[in-house]
Structure 1
């Protein structure tokens, strides 16, 4: 087994993927107590519970039973936050990584510097690389060059924004990954293996497979006997059965087939969003509101097992947390199949240890997909909303945007 040090581990999304590719998590560091309890419930990894900036690199190596330079990979996704606090130290003085004011990003970079792994993976939200808002990405790349100068390594970081659905994950989820090797070998990100079926129909010679679907992931999970926490209540819960699979509240506007209850694009995309058996899931939310999906096509919230499947976690995991904590931890996690895909590429390109077996966490495509269920009739309590509704006026022109501009 190759040796991994895991930071900001959550409940193990990245770790499960690297595990499937033959890596052993020698130590996992996580601040959240519920996430740590969940990891202990499912794996026997050495777990350090606490703030990364209060735990020394020496303690991390000791818990992993490793010396500097022995780890095959350092993995982790520092929580997304403003990078202004980090920028103060990027002036050639890398000792500022040890400053007690350091944030999560500088904590990750400090451990990278001190443990000197053969390779590293840093994961973050897609917004890290948005044009004209990429100061966080530039900070990371510049910081790694400072680390190289100080300790004599030759990490050459390569980054890319990836849509997990393009690699067989039954969920549309975009993340930025930064990968580097200590010896300077340049990393090539794996080519996508899956694509939109409509695009594949136009390219008969494409080697890609159709997207993995929510049905591929969930087809063999029976309906729950206990509906506690799964009923969609609130003001809008009874409207969900009137919306087709793969649609959201936009069904009930003057541009779609429902009844005009809302103005076009006047709500969030995920409002009353329902899974389609024939499509990948949309991104699982960490903190959804009462009417924020995606919801199951049977007009309920998704169970823990179903959320794990859409995140391509291995089967058999246990969870002791309540609904809110469970959703938060799963919604913040990296799909494990995406991590497995990157881990296999790292083995082949950077560690000289390729795998020949198929990916373990890839859902099996199902030949038969049941038809959608019939729609319910519109409940009486919503009929007073039928009428002409103004469309959203456009980006920056809504009521809240106008209020902010006048402050």
Structure 2
């Protein structure tokens, strides 16, 4: 059996419980559209090219995240910092992802401290480089090719950690992982 090069969204989220108050549901019209869209597709489901009997949209007339519904067996493609009201990714059940779910899908560790406000949390997640990607890039640049656990890297907390403090913690941790000369020019 070959191992998949990714982890599906469903596997990532199977360890998180989301309370009803954290769930956000789209407006009625958007919810009706999402009910019809299969997991893993977007607005293009409603086009003539896809064979829809009552096309709602033209082919490639919207951006790819418009009404994008995640698939539980595939990775989520992107998390936008400031999405429009019909911008995905949406959960395969047709609801919005809670901030904690978005953070996990973006490879943030379970205990990462998120802002309480949903829009601020989503903005922070959407503007961030996924920690696992950052760790892989650092490893590739340094030639170590080791998989670094993202939980070992320092995590900035909006409003609680200055950029200077974060930089110092990051430099210290990189030196611990890869040696003192890692940051030398």
> Is TM (by shorter chain) over 0.5?
yes
Q: Does structure 1 retain, via aligned residues, the 8 Å contact 2:22–2:98?
A: no
Which segments of structure 1 move beyond 4 Å, counting only runs of 4 or more? Answer: none
CA distance in 1, matches of 2:73, 2:88: 17
Quickly say closer, same or farther: Cα 1:255–1:223, change in 2 above 3 A: farther
1:277 Cα deviation from its structure 2 partner:
1.3
Q: Confirm or deny that 1:224 pairs with 2:13.
A: no
Gaps of 5+ in 1: 1-203, 363-407
Query: What's the RMSD between the two structures over aligned residues?
Result: 2.7
CA distance in 1, matches of 2:67, 2:111: 29
CA distance in 2, matches of 1:355, 1:248: 35
Q: Size of the alignment, in residue pairs? A: 150
- Larger fraction in helix: 2
User: Which residues in structure 2 correspond to 1:98-177 (within 5 Å)?
Assistant: none
Q: Confirm or deny that 1:360 pairs with 2:149.
A: yes
Q: Which residue of 2 aligns with 1:182?
A: none
CA distance in 2, matches of 1:264, 1:355: 41
Given candidates 292, 295, 313, the residue that maps to 2:108 is 313
Gaps of 5+ in 2: 152-185
Q: Does structure 1 retain, via aligned residues, the 8 Å contact 2:18–2:98?
A: no
Residues 331-389 of structure 1 show CA distances to partners (whole Å, capped at 9, x for unaligned) of: 00000001111333455x4xxxx586x54249xxxxxxxxxxxxxxxxxxxxxxxxxxx
Q: Does structure 1 retain, via aligned residues, the 8 Å contact 2:109–2:150?
A: yes
1:234 Cα deviation from its structure 2 partner:
6.4
Quickly say closer, same or farther: Cα 1:294–1:243, change in 2 above 3 A: same
Q: Does structure 2 retain, via aligned residues, the 8 Å contact 1:248–1:273?
A: yes
CA distance in 2, matches of 1:321, 1:226: 12
| Structure-1-length-normalised TM-score | 0.34
Q: Which residue of 2 aligns with 1:256?
A: 50
- Larger fraction in strand: 1
